[in-house]
Amino acid sequence: MSWVEWAFDGVLLLGVVGLAFGVLVVRDLYHSVILFIAFGLLLALGWVRLGAADIALAEAAIGAGLTGVLLLDALHAMRVRGGGRVT
C-alpha cells in the first residue's frame, strides 16, 4: 500500500469516527439525521475499501438511504403533531 492509500484510509477513519461522535453530540435532531446519513455513506465507502462491494451497496441503500428517509419522515411527523420545534 502506498502512502496515499494509508492517508485516505486514515482520513476515512477519522471521518467515520467524527461523524459517529457528531450524531451523538448534536442537539438538533435534523442535523443529527443528516450526519447519520453522511455516516452511512462514509461507512459504505469503507466497505468498498475493504473489498466488500455487496455490503457497501446494502449499507448505502439501507443504512444511509432508507433509514435516513424514515428518520426524516419521523422527525417531520413529530414536528407536525407537536406544533413546535423538536430538539
Domain ranges of the chain: 3-82
Mean pLDDT of 7-21: 96
- With both helix axes pointing from N to C terminus, report the angle between 29-49 and 67-82 in degrees, rounded to the nearest 10: 180
CB atoms within 10 A of CB 35: 20
* 15 to 44, 63, 79, 82: CA distances (angstroms): 12, 17, 30, 34
Separation between Cα atoms, residue 23 and residue 4, nearest integer Å: 28
Residues 6 or more apart from 81 whose CB is under 8 A from it? none
Mean pLDDT of 4-33: 95
- With both helix axes pointing from N to C terminus, report the angle between 3-25 and 29-49 in degrees, rounded to the nearest 10: 150
User: Tens digits of per-residue pLDDT, 30-76?
Assistant: 999 999 999 999 999 999 999 999 999 999 999 889 999 999 999 99
Mean pLDDT of 6-11: 96
Tell me, what's the pLDDT at 83?
A: 57
